[in-house]
């Protein structure tokens, strides 16, 4: 029984590490989207590139929603097993991952 519990705990830890990595990656991607949208163009060519980027961004966000869904499923699994993160920041990351698409859409609208 102790061996099985140890294996289960190690698997839960692995899920935790994967979810942290995925959350950080998603947050970084959306931060790059926001930075690119908020960049100040130096000439007309850069302005056109930024506009094209923002026009195609909703498609990229839709692609990212699959990754977000998987990441949120991992957090739900951890919640099911009453996993406690070492850092409270991880709980904030979970909600930041969830809200990143909306935040980026608001950035585009601005």
pLDDT in tens, 48-62: 999 999 999 999 999
Report whether pLDDT(30) > 90. Answer: yes
What's the mean pLDDT in 1-12? 90
The pTM for the full model equals 0.84
Mean pLDDT score, 40-49:
90
Cα distance between residue 70 and residue 29, in whole Å: 16
* Percentage of residues in the chain having pLDDT higher than 90: 60
DSSP the chain: -HHHHHHHHHHHHHHHHHHHHHHHHHHHHHHHHHHHHHPPPSSHHHHHHHHHHHHHHHHHHHHHHHHHHHHHHHHHHHHHTT---SSTHHHHHHHHHHHHHHHHHHHHH-
Q: What's the pLDDT band for 101 if we cut at 50, 70, 90?
A: very high
The CATH number assigned to the domain holding 9 equals: 1.20.58
Q: How many CB atoms lie within 10 A of CB 15?
A: 17
pLDDT for 66 beyond 80: yes
Give the mean model confidence (pLDDT) for residues 5-25.
Answer: 92
Question: Residue 94 in contact with residue 22, Cβ under 8 Å?
Answer: no
Range of the domain at 96: 2-109
Say if residue 21's pLDDT is above 90.
Answer: yes
């Amino acid at each position: 029984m102790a061996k099985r519990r140890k294996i289960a705990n190690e698997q839960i830890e692995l899920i935790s590490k994967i979810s942290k990595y995925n959350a950080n990656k998603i947050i970084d991607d959306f931060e790059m989207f926001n930075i690119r949208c908020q960049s100040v163009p130096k000439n007309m060519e850069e302005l056109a590139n930024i506009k094209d980027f923002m026009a195609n961004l909703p498609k990229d966000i839709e692609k990212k929603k699959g990754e977000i869904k998987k990441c949120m499923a991992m957090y739900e699994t951890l919640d099911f097993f009453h996993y406690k993160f070492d850092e409270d920041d991880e709980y904030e990351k979970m909600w930041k991952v969830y809200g990143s698409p909306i935040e980026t859409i608001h950035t585009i609208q601005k």
